[in-house]
Chain A
Amino acid sequence: MAKHSEIKLIGTPASPFVNRVQFALNLKSINYEDIEENLACKSELLLASNPVYKKVPVLLHADKPPICESQIIIDYLDEMKPDLYQLLPPVSLDRANCRFWATYIDTKFYPLYDELRRTTNKAGKEAIKEQMIESTQLLEEAFIKSSNGKTYFGGDEVRYLDVVLGCFIRWIKYSDELHDFNTFDEVRIPKLAKWAKKVSSHEALKSVTPGTETLANIFGLLNVYRPPYDQ
């Protein structure tokens, strides 16, 4: 008999943005049902649920219209059940800081990995790696300020920025192997490197982290739908 959950998540195992929402749902101990999407052939459900962007993840909560965009979904989960594990901090200024870095991660840091994949010439690749180094330096500093000497961005426990950045670690490691790079270098960014190891092994994330084969498939798909730039 199919499990009936009030919350359904349209997604795909390889998407770090989907993993992000799953990580959050797991931390909050919210039961949910995964609806797996084939990104090469998008379903009517996805197209109807996210007509604007046609992307995963999409959260379906009971009979409410769908909620799209992973950061917005997490905000919603926090506000919907304030008694459950809160991801955003209680103080407004700290919340603004979290949102700032989340935007930075999604719009400036993570897109570098797709750029790297699509750039074919050596000089171009080196230039992007330089940007990655600069970017992770900023994130190292942000981590130091946010963690206040503790294990996670959120302090003793995994919170918002741990989720927002943590979901990318497996994807980044896969990309690093392909492009002879080490994003979470222990010499360059010791604190962030330690954090990456710790958060990757957190049960709430580990249980939804995709395997190598899944990642290989999605990278293959990306190379078809968003192919490398011409030389």
Chain B
Amino acid sequence: MGGSEVVLLDFWPSMFGMRVRIALAEKGIEYEYKEQDLANKRALLYEMNPVHKKIPVLIHKGKPINDSGIIIQYIDETWNKKPQLMPSDPYVRAQARFWGDYVDKKVYVASKKTWALKGEEQEKGKKEFIEILKVLEGQIGDKPYFLGESFGYVDIALVTFYSWFHTCETLGNCNIEKECPKLIAWAKRCMQRESVSKTLPDSKKIYEFCIEMKNQFDF
């Protein structure tokens, strides 16, 4: 029985899954992509992530690794070759982990409020979302990438949300480029990397997926 050494259980519109795809592409790692039907979760996903039953899951030589942030660090350590995704200085690594954690804690929940909610709650959510993006924009400042000259961990953690911005703007009635022009400039810079441009799905496809999901689940 043949089996790929590296398998990724994923779901195409997931910003968390996209992160892993970018990391694998950056390192030039070949892998088998297995699309998971999240409405109908399969045995393999349950076996590989029994605690959370969530994607993405990286399976390396039969062993599962869960949580996109943890997966990226694992990839960087295991395929210890250029480009390094984590900074080499321990202090800067701590900063990378802090901001990656901030993106995890704040961006997803806030972005969801812009397209999943209505009325006053949506307005509040939208404000919160823009504020969070402004904090991140402030951190990038005039640097090419989040922590400096090199594309890395935090850029990967955040840029995948760029594919969802069109959805947030359309359904949330906001203009992210107007509010955070430097953030959009940074995202476009990241998109010049093949690993990013080939991974991020077309914004319109994400929008259509979101509309379909809202209809199906009655958001």
Contacts of B101 in A (CB 8 A): 69, 72
**Contact A75:B97 (CB < 8 A) given known A95-B74, A96-B65, A96-B71:** yes
Contacts of A68 in B (CB 8 A): 98
In the complex the two chains form, is B71's CB within 8 Å of A67's CB?
no
**Contact A72:B94 (CB < 8 A) given known A93-B63, A93-B65, A95-B77:** yes
Contacts of B60 in A (CB 8 A): 93
**Is A138 part of the binding interface, using a Cβ–Cβ cutoff of 8 Å?**
yes
**Is B73 part of the binding interface, using a Cβ–Cβ cutoff of 8 Å?**
yes
Residues 35-67 of chain B: 1 if any A CB is under 8 Å from the residue's CB, otherwise 0?
000000000000000010000000010010111
Q: How many residues of B contact A (CB 8 A)?
A: 22
Q: How many residues of A contact B (CB 8 A)?
A: 22
In the complex the two chains form, is A79's CB within 8 Å of B93's CB?
yes
Q: How far is the CA of A80 from the CA of B60 in the complex (A)?
A: 29
Contacts of A95 in B (CB 8 A): 73-74, 77
A14 to chain B, nearest CB (A): 23
Residues 58-72 of chain A: 1 if any B CB is under 8 Å from the residue's CB, otherwise 0?
000100100111011
In the complex the two chains form, is B74's CB within 8 Å of A138's CB?
no
Q: How far is the CA of A96 from the CA of B90 in the complex (A)?
A: 18
**Is B192 part of the binding interface, using a Cβ–Cβ cutoff of 8 Å?**
no
In the complex the two chains form, is A103's CB within 8 Å of B90's CB?
no
Residues of chain A in range 76-94 having any CB-CB distance to chain B below 8 Å: 76, 79-80, 92-93
Contacts of A229 in B (CB 8 A): none
**Is A174 part of the binding interface, using a Cβ–Cβ cutoff of 8 Å?**
no
Contacts of A2 in B (CB 8 A): none
**Is A187 part of the binding interface, using a Cβ–Cβ cutoff of 8 Å?**
no
Q: Which B-chain residue is minimally distant from A101 (CB atoms)?
A: B51
In the complex the two chains form, is B67's CB within 8 Å of A99's CB?
yes
Pick the contact of B70: A64, A73, A79, A103 (CB < 8 A).
A103
Residues 92-110 of chain B: 1 if any A CB is under 8 Å from the residue's CB, otherwise 0?
0111011001100000000
**Is A181 part of the binding interface, using a Cβ–Cβ cutoff of 8 Å?**
no
**Is B91 part of the binding interface, using a Cβ–Cβ cutoff of 8 Å?**
yes
**Is B78 part of the binding interface, using a Cβ–Cβ cutoff of 8 Å?**
yes
Q: How far is the CA of A79 from the CA of B73 in the complex (A)?
A: 14
Q: How far is the CA of A99 from the CA of B70 in the complex (A)?
A: 7
Q: Which B-chain residue is minimally distant from A81 (CB atoms)?
A: B90
In the complex the two chains form, is B98's CB within 8 Å of A93's CB?
no
**Is A52 part of the binding interface, using a Cβ–Cβ cutoff of 8 Å?**
yes
**Is A100 part of the binding interface, using a Cβ–Cβ cutoff of 8 Å?**
yes
**Is B29 part of the binding interface, using a Cβ–Cβ cutoff of 8 Å?**
no
B39 to chain A, nearest CB (A): 23
Contacts of B102 in A (CB 8 A): 52
In the complex the two chains form, is A73's CB within 8 Å of B73's CB?
no
B99 to chain A, nearest CB (A): 9
**Contact A96:B70 (CB < 8 A) given known A64-B91, A79-B93:** yes
Contacts of B185 in A (CB 8 A): none
B91 to chain A, nearest CB (A): 6
Q: How far is the CA of A158 from the CA of B27 in the complex (A)?
A: 34
Residues of chain A in range 10-39 having any CB-CB distance to chain B below 8 Å: none
Pick the contact of A76: B63, B71, B91 (CB < 8 A).
B91
In the complex the two chains form, is B77's CB within 8 Å of A72's CB?
no
Q: Which B-chain residue is minimally distant from A59 (CB atoms)?
A: B94
Contacts of A69 in B (CB 8 A): 97-98, 101
- A67-B95, A92-B74 given; name 17 further pairs at CB < 8 Å: A67-B94, A67-B98, A72-B97, A72-B101, A73-B94, A75-B94, A76-B94, A79-B90, A79-B93, A92-B77, A92-B78, A95-B74, A96-B70, A96-B71, A96-B74, A99-B73, A103-B70
Binding site for A on B (CB under 8 A): 51, 60, 63, 65-67, 70-71, 73-74, 77-78, 90-91, 93-95, 97-98, 101-102, 135
Please name the 5 residue pairs, one residue from A and one from B, whose CB atoms are nearest each other, closest first. Answer: A79-B90, A76-B94, A92-B77, A96-B74, A72-B97
